[in-house]
Each structure stands twice: as structure tokens, then as C-alpha cells.
């Protein structure tokens, strides 16, 4: 296969994510397919912070998995940073996902027997195989950016939920992604920790112009985003702007 087909985007596109007519079906334990996303049209611009809301089972996580290249659409087109992804093979998708997209989930998915610093270094090991000084310095900078310098050598399993989620955010930024996907990252946290994690996401968005897609059930947090899309019964409604932008 030609190298150009697998090349990573080198210039940040004005539109970071574009879905056209995206549908997703599952067999769900039977030979009959059940469609859970119905012709989604959606665009996210560079530097945009977008909340995704909707009832449980409406298709929010399925949408996030498609945008994050963890799953493939059944039909339609999906572009990330100007690259049409539905024609890429698994190796190309993995490469693009590892370099262009960061993930923060409701559960931190840290390796609890590793230190905070070691957890942040993990994505960088995929490219270099062995840790080096440059990786450690990068990880220290990221740990510092989420306010955990004093805890960088603590085992992740001995940290609070809020601290663990901040480490998870630092890890998600290790490869300097263009797009950051956050699936209920504050759902397991108390209100103070949830606000702190949200503010970190917002700061990353503003300072780095990282595009953020943020799934939440928290109406107050959604109101602090640039816009909110509602996913209802597998369909996306017109984006809702905060009061300050109406």
C-alpha cells in the first residue's frame, strides 16, 4: 500500500471531525441487525469544545467510539483531520488514533501498580519501545500541568479518584492530540473534583486549541461548553448554544 494512504495529517484542518450520513448497526446477539445510529451529520471545528448529552442508551458512547476510530460506521463517511477514515485498514486506524486522538473515560483505566509518571509515559512507549529522558521530561511537564507534581512518583492505586482522573487526562495529552474525547470523565467524581477536571479540559482546549468532544449528563457543565448536541434515539439534534452566545 502506498505510504500516502497511511500518512498522518500534518496540518490542523479547520474542520477536525466531519460525519456524513453515518449509520451504525449491531447484531446484539441475533442474526437481525439493529441500527443504533441513524444517518448522523456532524462537524466539529478546530478548537471547539462540544458537549454531548442524551438519555442512557441513546447512542452517545457509540458515537464517541466511531469518532475515536475504535469502531467503524456501518455506512456513511467519517473524516478526521481531513482524512477519510472508512477506507483505512486496521493498522492505519491504529496509527492515526495513537497520534491524533486522546481519550479520557469515566473510569481512569490507569495501571494501578505504576506511578502517575509511568502511566503518563505509556502512550509514548508505543513509538519508542523503551523509556528515555525525553519521555520522562514530557511526562513531568504534563503531570505538572494537571497540578500533580508532588504526586508524580505515587502509585496510581494510592491516589484519589480526582487525582487519578487528572493523571488520565495528562496521559491522554501525551501524544499532543488534535482531538480529545471525554466519555463521562466526571461521572464518578464529587462536585469539587468534577469541576476541577472540567476546568482542566477547558484549559487544554483554550491553550492548545485542542478540539474536545465531552459526553456528560451534567447540565451545568454542558452549559459551559461552546455548544451542546443532543443524541436522542440514535439521532443528533441541532446544536444548542450557551445563553451567552444566543
Q: Average the pLDDT over 139-151 and give the result.
A: 92
Cell of 214: 465531552
Which residues have CB under 8 Å from 171's CB, separation 6+? Answer: 110, 119, 120, 122, 123, 142
- Kindly state the cell numbers that stand for 152: 508524580
pLDDT for residue 29: 64
What size, in residues, is the chain?
Answer: 246
185-210 average pLDDT score: 87
Looking at every residue in the chain, the average pLDDT score rounds to: 86
Segment 7-51, tens digit of pLDDT = 444 344 489 999 999 999 987 666 778 889 999 999 999 999 999
Residue 74 lies in a domain: yes
Distance CA 37, CA 234 (A): 4
Residue 57 has pLDDT above 70, yes or no: yes
User: Is residue 7 domain-resident?
Assistant: no
Local confidence band at 246 (pLDDT 50, 70, 90 cut-offs): low
> What is the distance between the alpha carbons of residues 163 and 146, in angstroms, rounded to a whole number?
9
pLDDT at 194: 86
Q: Which burial class, exposed, middle or buried, applies to 133 when counting CB atoms under 10 A from its CB (0-12, 13-18, 19+)?
A: exposed
Decide if 238 is inside a domain.
yes
**pTM for the predicted model, two decimal places:** 0.84
Q: Is residue 1 part of a domain?
A: no
Tell me: pLDDT of 170 over 80. yes
Count up the domains in the chain and report the number: 1
Contact 207, 196 (CB under 8 A): no
Specify whether the CB–CB gap between 213 and 179 falls below 8 A: yes
Give per-residue pLDDT as tens, 98-143. 889 999 887 888 999 999 999 999 888 876 667 788 889 999 999 9
Task: Quote the domain boundaries for residue 61.
Answer: 14-245
pLDDT at 77 > cutoff 80? yes
3 lies in some domain: no
CATH of the domain at 148: 3.40.50.300
Beta strands 49-53; 75-80: pairing state = unpaired
Amino acid at each position: 500500500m502506498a505510504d500516502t494512504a497511511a500518512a498522518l495529517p500534518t496540518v490542523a484542518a479547520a474542520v477536525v471531525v466531519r460525519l456524513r450520513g453515518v449509520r451504525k448497526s449491531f447484531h446484539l446477539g441475533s442474526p437481525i441487525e439493529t441500527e443504533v445510529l441513524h444517518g448522523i451529520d456532524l462537524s466539529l471545528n478546530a478548537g471547539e469544545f462540544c458537549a454531548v448529552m442524551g438519555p442512557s442508551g441513546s447512542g452517545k458512547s457509540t458515537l464517541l467510539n466511531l469518532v475515536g476510530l475504535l469502531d467503524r460506521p456501518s455506512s456513511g463517511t467519517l473524516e478526521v483531520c481531513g482524512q477519510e477514515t472508512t477506507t483505512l485498514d486496521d493498522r492505519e486506524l491504529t496509527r492515526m488514533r495513537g497520534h491524533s486522538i486522546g481519550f479520557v473515560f469515566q473510569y481512569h483505566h490507569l495501571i494501578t501498580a505504576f506511578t502517575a509518571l509511568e502511566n503518563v509515559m505509556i502512550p509514548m512507549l508505543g513509538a519508542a519501545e523503551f523509556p528515555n529522558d525525553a519521555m520522562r521530561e514530557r511526562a513531568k511537564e504534563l503531570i505538572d500541568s494537571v497540578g500533580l507534581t508532588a504526586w508524580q512518583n505515587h502509585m496510581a492505586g494510592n491516589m484519589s479518584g480526582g487525582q487519578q482522573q487528572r493523571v488520565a487526562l495528562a496521559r491522554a495529552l501525551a501524544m499532543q492530540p488534535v482531538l480529545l474525547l471525554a466519555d463521562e470523565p466526571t461521572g464518578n467524581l464529587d462536585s469539587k473534583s468534577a469541576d476541577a477536571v472540567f476546568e482542566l479540559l477547558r484549559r487544554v482546549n483554550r491553550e492548545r486549541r485542542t478540539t474536545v468532544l465531552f459526553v456528560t449528563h451534567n447540565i451545568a457543565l454542558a452549559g459551559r461548553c461552546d455548544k451542546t448536541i443532543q443524541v436522542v434515539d440514535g439521532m443528533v439534534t441541532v446544536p444548542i448554544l450557551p445563553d451567552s452566545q444566543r
